[in-house]
Structure 1
Amino acid sequence: MSLKDKYQSALDLAKENGAEMENFHEENDAIIFNGTVPSPYVRNLIWDKFKAINSLAKDADAPAEIHANITVKDDSVYHHHTVVAGDTLGEIAKHYFDDAKKYMAIFEANKGILKDPNMIVVGQVLAIPNP
């Protein structure tokens, strides 16, 4: 299996999450992965995918065979989340921060559109603050 084949799922994940890839190719026994992503959250998803492919922990260093330059378009927030049916701020906080108790950080970041942390509406786009 080539390195490109090995990391294809990371490229697919990047594209599914709005990345604009400048290049993705194999060169000198390494994979070159350069592109622009919409948010720090998407950048972290891609890095975590690289690590998962190699059975590494999320907090591990990236594999040496990966040479990536991932530029973030908007780092003023961690991500923008579109509310879907069944979402709660607690579930959203659990997804992005691994801690449902951080829901108030999301509420505070969105006070311009939210009046009550228990009332979010399908279709609302919430700013997820940087952790």
Structure 2
Amino acid sequence: MSWWILLAIIVAFIAFSIYRYIKSKKILTTLTEDEFKQGYRKAQLIDVREPKEFDGGHILGARNIPLSQMRNRTAEIRKDKPVYLYCQSGARSTRAAMLLNKKGYEDLNHLQGGFKKWSGKIKAKK
């Protein structure tokens, strides 16, 4: 009996993961570094990493709204302008986009590979 429960849990987890993957592909545009560079100055550039990571180095012009604070800080993000998100690798920016989409944001983009793949200008706190 417990075998079937475990199997049902595994199947449910896989189904949920597939659903989230497909949903993220629908609501979020993944941009190469070149595509990101072309549009981020006209957009709201948001680094969703934690403040320590942000202070260690971030894309010039980015605002830090960590994923952990996103739910309480969405009022700082305009719905009428494109939103460009990035994190270290792409996982947190995808989660941030899902949260923003639930709150009515539509033009959501993120950096393919995240900050660790970025070769453009950066700023770091001394």
TM-score by length of 1: 0.27
Q: Which has the higher strand share?
A: 1
Higher share of residues assigned helix: 2
Point out which structure has higher relative CO (alpha carbons under 8 A, 6+ apart): 2
